[in-house]
Amino acid sequence: MHEHTETSVVIIDTLQKVREAEGDTYSYARDYDIIAGLKAFADRTGICLILVHHTRKQKSDDNFDRISGTNGLLGAADGAFIMYKNKRSDGDATIEVSGRDQPDKKYMLSRNKETLCWDFKGERFPDYAEPPEPVLEAIGNFINADNPTWEGTATELIEKLWRYGRYLFISGTDESADPFPMYGLWGGDHRLMWPHNMANENIQMIYWHVFAGNLLPFHKAFFRYYNDRLSAFEENARKLFGMRGIYMTAGTTPGVSAPNQVVPVIMNWVGAAGWIAQHYDQYARYTWDDGYFQDVILPYLLEVADFYEDFVEFYPDGTLHFYPSVSPENTPGNFMPPPHRMIPHPMPTTVNSTIDLAILKEFFTHMCALAEQHPELKDRVPAWEKILATIPAYRVNDQGAVKEWQDDRFEERYDHRHLSHIYPVFPGKEINSLHGKDLLPAFEKAVRLREIDAQTGWSMAHMAAIFARLEKGEDALECLNKMARSCLTNSFFTLHNDWRGMNISWNMDPAPVQLDAIMGYVNAVQEMLMYSSDDLLKLLPALPQELKAGEIKDFRYQDGSVNMRWNVEKNEFSAT
């Protein structure tokens, strides 16, 4: 390409000539990686890359299933054209078109015996028309070319942003695609600031809403993404720690699974795989799909268990020692340099951060519960129970707040955006009004001590969800309102930080788009309306005044779904 800079189209005839020789066996992951690599080359060079490939002889109800190999080939490509004849001797043929950025088409061709070329005869069917979708129509109606601005009440804004966040999510991924990234599909050709899937907060936030929001099938993209990288994560664990299982660096991309951010608070944090495991476990509890559990969920969970079993150490007094340990992406106050020497992320590691202990406790608690249903796991339970028995209890500092590090050598630092140490309340469910409720005031105090001008769009969405778990509806809504005032664009895209100079969040130039914040907004609204755990279901647990009347349908919880209608002023409530 360096020698032929004017090239705009490259045709490879056939794909088999450029793919690696790996025998006659195919797998989805292998096929996907081959096409993903070629697509990355096309995107990087700005060319159109056309691959010629063979089809199978046998017919299928879906003609694209006739592409030789697995669905991974089509899954990674931008689109596909398939040409076929009903009989080998036919003079007519059909081309079908399918892809991400073009409507499905079906064209008829006829072979010209004089020119030996195919002549276009027309479309066999008109463009396929999608059935009406109320959510998408509502979004299209409220801001469009004829109506470029929106005005409404605060209550109407909550509903609009909830619908819009779901619309973006549904538009930006599906179960056969990559997970929804922080910029969605709308990064274009820009050099994006944070184009990776970040697992110390962001990708989790993007997917929190799918459970109550009844979008569970979309989570399969998330699981396939991480399961496809298990061999790379195993290599990370083996080379960096000499341990079994997987070490997942917080930031990955479709093409890079090895540690790639040379930042100590990223490199030294081993909690990503455990936090991601929360989504695997919760999906299993919502779906009870044993086949999917055995094929997808359990293999990942066992890799995480292997690593943590090797990683933890015990003090002579029997208590657990978790090191290196990080509270993303914070540094203890007594290890911060003086203001005139400020550097980002100065502290490389700590011991026994609250989030790491909480993830460890949550993970092995869930694994012990799974062992009760899966006898093949019972031999491992004693090791898991030993770890659980030695995790230090959460301690409270002299300000009445839960400590961010359960080690007295590390002092609090409230001037930070992450809320990692609140994990037992949210996104975990260890502490609630049934379990550990005596600690709820200490967790609430820790949240209120966070400085508002250190927050971001996504951290205010996270804080809103925490306040909803604490059943503080007005505080939760105030966080969302602050996010909307400071980190929301005219297009309703959310930004990382304040772009209007409102002085109510972190001030950074530029303020990059981060759509995890609007997904976090969707989740926080749902948290106000419903809370569910293994043994607790609460309806309207954190209802703010702005949501004093409303209706929801098909919100999911672990054992079913619920429809609700309420009006506080009329003292009316119904649920089915």
pLDDT tens string 140-162: 666 666 766 767 788 899 999 99
Lowest-confidence region among 60-69, 209-218, 255-264, 296-305 = 60-69
How many CB atoms sit inside 10 A of residue 483's CB? 30
Q: Give the pLDDT score at 60.
A: 64
**pLDDT reading at 128 higher than 50:** no
Amino acid (one-letter) located at 371: A
Structure tokens at 476: 């939760």
- Tell me the pLDDT band of 1, cut-offs 50, 70 and 90: low
Report pLDDT for 59.
Answer: 66
Work out the percent of the chain whose per-residue pLDDT is above 70.
90
Which tens digits make up the pLDDT trace of 482-521? Answer: 999 999 998 899 999 988 888 787 777 788 999 999 999 9
Of the candidates 26, 33, 78, the one whose C-alpha atom is nearest the C-alpha of residue 54 is 26
Picking from 115, 73, 70, the residue whose alpha carbon sits closest to that of residue 98 is: 73
Helix (H, G, I), strand (E, B) or coil at 567: strand
Question: Can you list the positions of beta strands (E) in 114-174?
Answer: 117-123
User: What gap in Å lies between CA 516 and CA 487, rounded to an integer?
Assistant: 12
29 pLDDT higher than 70? no
Beta strands of 336-445 (E only): which ranges?
A: none
Confidence band, pLDDT 50/70/90 cuts, at residue 427: very high
How much is the pLDDT for 506? 79
pLDDT-based confidence at residue 127 (cuts at 50, 70, 90)? very low
Q: Give the pLDDT confidence of 349-361 residue by residue, as tens digits.
A: 999 999 999 999 9
| pLDDT higher than 60, residue 131 | no
Q: pLDDT at position 124, please?
A: 62
The overall average pLDDT reported for the chain is: 88
* Residue 167 CA, distance from chain mean position: 15
Whether the predicted pLDDT of 71 surpasses 60 = yes
Task: Give 286's Cβ-side CA count (13 Å radius).
Answer: 21
Statement: residue 549 has pLDDT above 90: yes
Cα–Cα distance for residue pair 182/169, rounded to 1 Å: 11
> What is residue 136's predicted lDDT score, i.e. its pLDDT?
54
Question: Residue 65 — φ and ψ, nearest 5°?
Answer: -70, -10
Gap between the Cα atoms of 291 and 297, Å rounded: 9
Q: Give the pLDDT score at 138.
A: 60
How do strand 549-557 and strand 537-539 relate by DSSP bridges? unpaired
Report CA torsion sign: 362, 368, 372, 373.
positive
For range 430-449, the mean pLDDT? 97
| The predicted structure's pLDDT at residue 328 | 93
With contact defined as beta carbons under 8 Å apart, do 185 and 171 qualify?
A: yes
Parallel, antiparallel or unpaired: strands 117-123 and 79-84: unpaired
> Is residue 126 pLDDT above 50, yes or no?
no
Query: How far separated are the first and last CA of the chain, in Å rounded?
Result: 62
DSSP 375: G
Residue pointed to by tokens 């009989």 = 87
Looking at the chain, the whole-number percentage of residues with pLDDT higher than 90 is: 59
Residue range 208-216: mean pLDDT, rounded: 97
Do 350 and 410 meet the contact criterion of CB atoms below 8 Å apart?
Answer: yes
Distance CA 375, CA 378 (A): 5
